[in-house]
């Protein structure tokens, strides 16, 4: 058994559990106050700093944060499953997002699921998969 790779793999599994737990908390809160608060905070700060209207627009930040939310998911899956193609990781991100957005749409009265969120989450998973694959390749070359 290769013990040199066991510790980083264990750490990666812990990171994966933390990412999954955080994702579930953010996406399955019974109302959207926390995500909405974050979007408003960023938008208001940029507006107060004199940023252009398009940059301080809340919908821009809502979409951007949806992308960012799934980047760690794609990265962790790509690192844990190096044999999966990048598009396979993105498809897994799509399936996870579609499931979570379905729960928001049909089971959580204070939340709204949307296909736009599925698309931005999937984009985040794809970006994370590319980054995770690059990090894995760099680690493999170095070690």
CA neighbor of 135 nearest in space, from 12, 7, 4: 12
Q: What's the CA gap between 95 and 12, in Å, rounded?
A: 22
Q: pTM of the prediction?
A: 0.81
Q: For the chain, percent helix, then strand, then coil, each to nearest 5?
A: 80, 0, 15
Q: What's the CA gap between 48 and 97, in Å, rounded?
A: 33
At 109 the three-state DSSP class reads coil
The encoded tokens of residue 4 equal 């040199």
The encoded tokens of residue 90 equal 């993105």
Q: Encode pLDDT of 88-126 as tens digits.
A: 999 999 999 999 999 989 988 888 889 999 999 999 999
Contact 32, 113 (CB under 8 A): no
Q: Encode pLDDT of 23-65 as tens digits.
A: 888 777 776 676 688 888 899 999 999 999 999 999 999 999 9
């Amino acid at each position: 058994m290769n013990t040199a790779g066991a510790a980083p793999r264990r750490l990666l599994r812990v990171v994966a559990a933390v990412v999954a737990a955080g994702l579930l908390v953010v996406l399955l809160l019974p109302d959207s106050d926390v995500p909405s608060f974050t979007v408003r905070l960023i938008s208001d700060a940029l507006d107060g700093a004199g940023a252009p209207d398009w940059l301080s627009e809340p919908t821009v930040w809502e979409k951007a944060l949806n992308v960012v939310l799934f980047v760690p998911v794609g990265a962790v899956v790509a690192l844990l499953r190096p044999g999966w193609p990048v598009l396979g990781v993105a498809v897994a991100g799509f399936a996870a997002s579609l499931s979570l957005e379905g729960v928001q749409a049909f089971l959580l009265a204070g939340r709204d699921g949307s296909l736009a969120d599925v698309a931005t989450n999937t984009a985040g998973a794809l970006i994370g998969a590319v980054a995770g694959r690059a990090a894995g390749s760099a680690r493999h070359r170095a070690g």
